[in-house]
Structure 1
Amino acid sequence: MSTLAQVLAVTAGVLHVGVGVVEAFFFQRPWAQQFLLRKRSSPREVDLWAFNVAFYNVFLGLGTVLGVVLVARGLVDEGRTLVLYTAGFMTLGGIVLWISDHRLWTGTLGQSGFGLATLLATLAS
Structure 2
Amino acid sequence: MTLGSVGILEIFFHGDQRFHRIFLIQPDDVGAVRMWAMNVGAYNFAFAFGLAVGLLMVNTGNAAGGTSIVVFCCASHVFLGFWLWVTEKRLWTSAIGQALIPGLAIVFYLLLG
- Report if TM-score (shorter chain) is over 0.5: yes
1:107 corresponds to 2:94: yes
C-alpha RMSD of matched pairs (Å): 1.4
Are residues 112 and 42 of structure 1, via their aligned partners in 2, closer, same or farther at CA, if it must alter by over 3 Å? farther
Cα distance in 2, alignment partners of residues 16 and 42 from structure 1: 27
Give aligned pairs, total: 111
**Alignment partner for residue 84 of structure 1, among 59, 63, 71?**
71
| Aligned twin of 1:4 | none
SS of 1:45's equivalent?
A: helix
Does 1:96 pair with 2:83? Answer: yes
Following superposition, which runs of at least 4 residues in structure 1 exceed 4 angstroms of deviation?
Answer: none
Give the residue type in structure 2 aligned to 1:24: I
Residue 123 (1) aligns with residue 110 (2): yes
Tell me which of 40, 46, 62 is aligned to 2:33.
Answer: 46
Shift, 1:42, TM fit: 5.6
Gaps of 5+ in 2: none
Cα pair distance change 1:50/1:81, threshold 3 Å: same
Distance between the aligned counterparts of 2:23 and 2:57, measured in 1? 31
Q: CA deviation at 1:71?
A: 0.5
Paired-residue identity, % = 26
Contact 1:36-1:107 at 8 Å conserved across structures = no
Does the Cα contact within 8 Å between 1:80 and 1:122 map onto a contact in 2? no
CA deviations over 1:25-55 (Å, ceiling 9, x no partner) = 0110012222233x55361211111001100
TM-score between both structures, scaled by the size of structure 2: 0.91
Which residue number in structure 2 is paired with residue 75 of structure 1?
62
* In structure 1, distance between residues paired with 2:15 and 2:91: 18
Deviation track 1:82-103 (CA, whole Å, cap 9, x = no partner) reads 0110000000000000000111
- Which residue number corresponds to residue 44 of structure 2? 57
User: What is the TM-score with the length of structure 1 in the denominator?
Assistant: 0.82
Gaps of 5+ in 1: 1-13
Indicate the structure whose relative CO is greater, using CA pairs within 8 Å and at least 6 residues apart. Answer: 1
